[in-house]
Amino acid sequence: NAGVTQTPKFQVLKTGQSMTLQCAQDMNHNSMYWYRQDPGMGLRLIYYSASEGTTDKGEVPNGYNVSRLNKREFSLRLESAAPSQTSVYFCASRPMEGSNTEAFFGQGTRLTVV
């Protein structure tokens, strides 16, 4: 079972470059999320998508854009990368509406901006 798949796993960017982080889930889940993880900060929500066609800002959306391409895919774009965006990025999905559902995570993308 693939679950949530993120690509790439590692990436080094120069300041000002752009890139898109890809995320796909094969569990037919409605909601999808992008988090970043920094030491001592836990996971911080960047953007989320409650369902196909909708996206909303999380705690730290500045410098990022997202696209919910279809039910399976939710991408995160950095238009002009900055060193402050060096982090580990996690995509997650949840099966349905409601506050008690489990989040399933990908294995993360480790991004370094130099």
Partner 1 sequence: TQLLEQSPQFLSIQEGENLTVYCNSSSVFSSLQWYRQEPGEGPVLLVTVVTGGEVKKLKRLTFQFGDARKDSSLHITAAQPGDTGLYLCAGVRGTYKYIFGTGTRLKVLA
User: Of these, 4, 21, 24, 76, which contacts partner 1 (CB under 8 A)?
Assistant: 4
User: Of these, 13, 90, 111, 113, which contacts partner 1 (CB under 8 A)?
Assistant: 90
Q: Residues binding partner 1: what is the number (CB under 8 A)?
A: 29
Contacts of 39 (CB under 8 A, 6+ apart): none
Q: How many CA atoms lie within 13 A of 95 on its CB side?
A: 5
Q: At 33, is the secondary structure helix, strand, or coil?
A: strand
Q: Does 61 bind partner 1 (CB under 8 A)?
A: no
Alpha helices in the chain (DSSP H): none
Q: Does 106 bind partner 1 (CB under 8 A)?
A: yes
Q: How far is the CB of 94 from partner 1 (least distance, A)?
A: 8
